[in-house]
Structure 1
Amino acid sequence: MAELQNLTVPSSDGHFVNSVISRCKIDNGVRAALKKADNPATEYMCWDYLASFGINLEHDDRRLPYVTVGAAIGRVKPDRNGSIAFGKALASSYDEGSDSKPAIARIRRLLACSDVSEVCVTLRPMLSLIASKISLPLNYIRLLSQIKRFPLSPEIVKAQWAQEFYSYAGQKDGKQ
């Protein structure tokens, strides 16, 4: 029952993201463990931290969303959860925005994913790119919720990412 609650209650997403951000500010060991979670061979190094949130480590569909978002937060070390949606952040990582051919290729690759494992593997390099290109923090709570929702409603999540990306239309407010 706790697993289902952890999967569906959005407030737990906010608690997880805000706790990770707070811990990364004061504990470089947690930050280092979360950064290592980007590599499947060293992902286990953050399991103790994930388990403290009651995250089911046995099932990829439940573990990988937290691993992916936790690793992104550990890499960036944001001061707070941001307001930029993933699709908008991806588009703003390119000078041409959503008209950029490499950006379009990346979003299409993400939209072609069929399961959470594939989504998380595809997101990792995109999140690194976003971290290197834009200064405003992502909305990690929204991203975590979207990844967790993917197994239940993949078409809805894909539509959200596409809407965020293609509605960007070259605006420059993500670059500062």
Structure 2
Amino acid sequence: MSEQTGHRSRGEGFVDFILRRCQRDKGEAARLRRADNPATEYQSWETLAAFGIDLEKPWERLPFARVAAALARAKIEQDGNHGIGRALAGCYDDGNRSDQARARLRRLLACDSVEEACRILRPVLSLIESRGHHPLNHARLLDELLRFHWRAQDVKARWAQDFYRRAPQTGEQTS
């Protein structure tokens, strides 16, 4: 639940919806794993429509499809707690000092549309899932992608801030 308002965001509701459906129906989970492939994305439309997604709006449909695919592949029971920047940095031994991590972040920050961001996120999310040191907050990512269409610079700034933020030392409090 969103800490500031006490209300669930659309992203939080969707993540819970997808996690429940994946746990209940393995066939649906298999269809959702293919939601981020343009050739097979249509297989997820029944599930997306059941959540009230407007399938005719790519700036809405693609973020939901991308996150649904990531959740179905991750086979998790609950959402993570790290933003995309922190999760990406956590994939490398050098963290945010890694040239590879910085290159991936720069490519993500160079996106001009939510459609492009969703396309670039596909390998980034696979990397985060495979290295798994910092579990991704999928709900937060979805909410950011939904804002990207109208407030891209704000979203990119948040991703960069999250990436470059100093990791807390052992025993330190996080806010």
TM-score scaled to structure 2, two decimals?
A: 0.89
Asked if the contact 2:91–2:132 (Cα under 8 Å) also holds between the matched residues in 1, the reply is yes
Residue 51 of structure 1 contacts residue 57 of structure 1 at CA under 8 Å; is this kept in 2?
Answer: yes
Per-residue deviation, 1:30: 1.4
Counterparts of 1:147 and 1:101 in 2: how far apart (Å)?
25
Residue 57 of structure 1 corresponds to 55
Q: Is the 8 A contact 2:53 2:61 kept in 1?
A: yes
Per the alignment, do residues 138 and 99 of structure 1 end up closer, same or farther by CA in structure 2, a change over 3 Å counting? same
| 1:161 correspondence with 2:163 | no
Say which of 150, 154, 160 aligns to 2:148: 150
- Counterparts of 2:41 and 2:169 in 1: how far apart (Å)? 36
Change (3 A) 1:136 1:29: farther
Is the contact between residue 88 and residue 168 of structure 1 (CA under 8 Å) also seen in structure 2?
A: no
For residue 171 of structure 1, report the CA deviation from its aligned partner: 6.9
C-alpha displacement of 1:143: 0.3
CA distance in 2, matches of 1:10, 1:152: 21
Runs (5+) with no aligned partner, structure 1? 1-8
Partner of 1:3: none
Q: Which residue of 1 aligns with 2:39?
A: 41
Long gaps (5+) in structure 2: 1-6, 171-175
The corresponding residue for 1:16 is: 14
Please give the per-residue CA displacement for 1:49-107, whole angstroms capped at 9, x wherever unaligned: 00001100011101001001000001101110111111100000011100111100000
Q: Which amino acid aligns with 2:14?
A: F
Distance in 2 between residues matched to 1:170 and 1:106, nearest whole Å:
22
- Where do residues 24-103 of structure 1 align in structure 2 (5 Å cutoff)? 24-103=22-101
1:109-124 matches, within 5 Å, as 109-124=107-122
Describe the SS at the equivalent of 1:151.
helix
SS at match of 2:78: coil
| RMSD between superposed Cα atoms in Å | 1.9
Alignment check: 8 A CA contact 1:13 1:145 kept:
yes
C-alpha separation between the residues in 2 aligned to 1:171 and 1:89? 16
> Do 1:34 and 1:74's aligned partners in 2 also have CA atoms closer than 8 Å?
yes
Q: How far apart in 2 are the matches of 1:171 and 1:104?
A: 21
C-alpha contact (below 8 Å) 2:91/2:133 kept by paired residues: no
Q: Once the 2 structures are TM-superposed, how far is the Cα of residue 169 of structure 1 from its aligned partner?
A: 5.4
Letter in 2 for 1:138: L
Per-residue deviation, 1:135: 4.6
Runs of 4+ in 1 over 3 A off after TM superposition: 168-172
Contact 1:95 1:170 in 2 (8 A): no
- Is residue 92–residue 171 contact of structure 1 (8 Å, CA) maintained in 2? no
